[in-house]
Amino acid sequence: MAAKEWIFPDRKEDTELIGKFCARFDLPVPVARVMINRGFDTVEKAENYLNKSIDCLHDPLGMADMEKAAGRIRRAVESGEKITVYGDYDVDGITATALMVRYLRSLGADADAYIPNRQSEGYGVNRSALEAIAGRGTALVVTVDTGITAAPEVEYAGELGLDVIITDHHECKETLPAAAAVVNPKRADCPYPFKELAGVGVAFKLVCALEGGSRSVLERYGDIVALGTIADVVSLTDENRAIVEYGINKMCSDPNPGLGAVMDIVGPGSKWNSSAVVSYSVAPRLNAAGRMSSAMKAVDLLLTEDHEEAVRLAKELDEENNLRRQVESVIFAEASEMVRSRDCFGKKVLVLAKKGWHHGIIGVVASRICDKFNKSCILISVENGRCKSSGRSVEGLNLFEALSSCGDILEKFGGHAYAAGFSILEENIPELDRRLNEYADKIFRREPAPRLYIDARIEAEDLNLDTVRKTRLLCPYGAGNKTPVFALTEVRIDDLRTLSEGRHCRLMCEKNGVRIEAIAFGMGHLAGEYSAGDFVDLAGEMNINYYNGTERVQLVLSDIRLSRQWPADILPSRQDFADIYRYIKRQSRPIRDDAARLASRISYTLRRRIKREKLLGALAVFDDVGIIRLGLLGDMVKIELLPGEAGKKVNLDSSPEYIRIKKGLENSV
Q: Which chain residues interact with Mn ion by CB under 5 A?
A: 92, 145, 199, 232
Which residue, 92 or 238, is less far from Mn ion as judged by CB?
A: 92
- For residue 198, the minimal CB distance to Mn ion (Å) is 6
Distance, in Å, from the CA atom of 219 to the CA atom of 419, rounded to the nearest integer, reads: 36
The one-letter amino acid at 660: R
Minimum distance, C-beta of residue 368 to Mn ion, in the bound complex (Å): 22
CA atoms within 13 A on the CB side of 549: 0
Shortest distance in whole angstroms from residue 144 CB to Mn ion? 9
- Order of all β-strands in the sheet with 140-143: 110-114, 82-86, 140-143, 163-167, 181-183
Among residues 146, 221, 181, the alpha carbon closest in space to that of 63 is found at 181
Tell me how far, at minimum, the Cβ of 38 lies from Mn ion, in Å.
25
CA distance 385 to 425: 6
CA atoms lying within 13 Å on the CB side of residue 37: 25
- To Mn ion, the closest distance from the beta carbon of 145 in angstroms equals 4
Q: Considering beta carbons, is residue 232 or 529 the nearer one to Mn ion?
A: 232
What DSSP state is assigned to residue 42? S
As measured in angstroms, the least distance from the Cβ of 663 to Mn ion is: 41
Nearest CB to Mn ion, comparing residues 199 and 257: 199
Neighbours of 237 (CB within 10 A): 17
d(CA 320, CA 299): 15
Which of these, 478, 452, 459, 455, lies nearest to 553 by C-alpha position?
Answer: 459
**Shorter beta-carbon distance to Mn ion: residue 92 or 112:** 92
Q: Which is nearer to Mn ion, 145 or 534 (CB)?
A: 145
Q: One-letter amino acid identity for 589?
A: R
CB closer to Mn ion out of 92 and 541 = 92
Of 424, 420, 431, the C-alpha closest to 362 is 420
Q: How far is the CB of 199 from Mn ion (least distance, A)?
A: 4
* Burial group, residue 39, by CB count within 10 angstroms (0-12, 13-18, 19+): exposed
Give the nearest distance from C-beta 318 to Mn ion in angstroms: 24
Which is closer to Mn ion, CB of 116 or CB of 199?
Answer: 199
Q: Under a CB-based contact definition with an 8 Å cutoff, are residues 248 and 476 in contact? A: yes
Q: Considering only CA atoms, give the Rg of the chain.
A: 28
CA distances from 615 to 344, 523, 608, 610, 626 (A): 21, 20, 13, 7, 17
- For Mn ion, give the closer residue by CB, 221 or 530: 221
Residue facing Mn ion at closest CB distance: 92
